[in-house]
Amino acid sequence: MNAFLQERITGMRTVQIFNAEKQEAEKFRAINREYTQANLDSILYYAVFFPVVEIISAAALGLMVWYGAKGVIGGEVTLGALIAFPIYINMLFRPIRMLADKFNTLQMGLVASERVFAVLDQTDRVENQGNVKPERFQGEVEFDHVWFAYNDEDFVLKDVSFRINPGETLAIVGSTGSGKTTIINLLNRFYDIQKGHIKIDGTDIREFDLYAMRRRVALVLQDVFLFSGTVFENITLRDSDISREQVIEAAKMIGAHEFIQKLPGGYDYKVMERGATLSMGQRQLISFIRALVFNPDILILDEATSSIDPETESVIQFAIETLIAKRTSIIIAHRLSTIRHANNILVLQKGAVLEFGSHESLLKIDDGHYKQLYEMQFLQLEEA
């Protein structure tokens, strides 16, 4: 019931937009009825168990006194033994009575433990067995005949190979499901590949210490996640090594300092859960500051401008240009201005590399996939 409530309250807007309040309320009533019935059953069992134990305890005491009294009169049992045994009976039945009280707690503990152990028993994790801890990356990235599948049967990436020189920008384009985001996930080593090699500065990423490697790589996602807390805490992620002066300097470089200053409290403005009180553009700017303040050597932007309004786009575009300057960058984007600034463009289709080259060289390919995408999506923007 708690999981149902949390999910529906978080997605309240979606429920309201599609007028699904009645259906969801009915689902909640059904779950609530089951929960109520479970509580009633629990109370019933308790109500039966406790009196039964008391009756057995009282009967045992009565029988013992009856037989014991006869034994004392007949000289077979001492008076001290007769007095001691009611105490022993009480000590025997007290734990049995307590079982009734502890049964509910035990049941709740079993349910909670099932969820905890389900997480602990997960084997799908990336083992941190590397011992190379780089202070900085030069920024050379290479995918060497990479094959990857989320399960062993369906390969999402098929023999993908490309190379990015230090300081260069690579744009990745392709239709939905072509493997763009998978490349980013693999470079951050959220998953391990089945075949091939992914190298940074000529070293296989599996040889790097996971935490040291990820500290030199920044990822800006389309869906920005902000935590409950201040703007400053969301930028630094409570890293004590990052000062307020560094955050303000990064915000000024991005062009976001003015908007933060206008917030009530400035950098101490309290952000609600998932940044609900900020616009998409404002959340995106905060994520750009977060990426810049950690000063990464490799920057990854995953469709970071796809949900931005035209008014904010120029600010975001300036932020992107500031971020990618003098550092290796990988950009998944559909904005022509961003793609044009890239040194090379990687075109993916169904997990395979279809085309690779600069914007100008790809446009020269007759019936090329990138040229078709450009004509369909971008020429209209230029005409407008």
Q: Give the pLDDT score at 307.
A: 54
Query: Where in the chain is CATH 3.40.50.300?
Result: 141-383
CB 230 within 8 A of CB 269: yes
Q: Give the pLDDT score at 196.
A: 92
Architecture of domain 2-120: Up-down Bundle (1.20)
DSSP per-residue codes, 207-254? GB-HHHHHHTEEEE-SS----SEEHHHHHHTT-TTS-HHHHHHHHHHH
Architecture of domain 141-383: 3-Layer(aba) Sandwich (3.40)
- Say which DSSP state 138 is in: -
Query: Where in the chain is CATH 1.20.1560.10?
Result: 2-120
Q: Give the pLDDT score at 36.
A: 92
Q: Give the pLDDT score at 312.
A: 62
Q: Give the pLDDT score at 141.
A: 92
pLDDT by position in tens, the chain (length 384)? 888 898 888 888 888 888 989 999 999 999 999 989 988 887 887 778 778 877 887 888 888 888 878 777 877 877 787 788 888 877 877 777 777 667 767 877 887 888 888 888 776 677 778 788 888 888 899 999 999 998 777 888 999 999 999 988 899 988 778 888 899 889 988 888 888 999 999 999 999 988 889 888 888 887 788 888 888 988 888 888 888 898 898 888 877 888 888 888 888 888 877 677 787 778 888 888 888 888 888 988 886 655 555 666 666 677 777 777 778 888 887 666 667 778 899 988 888 998 898 888 888 888 888 888 777 765 555 554
Q: How many CB atoms lie within 10 A of CB 307?
A: 14
Q: What phi and psi values does residue 195 have, to the nearest 5 degrees?
A: -140, 155
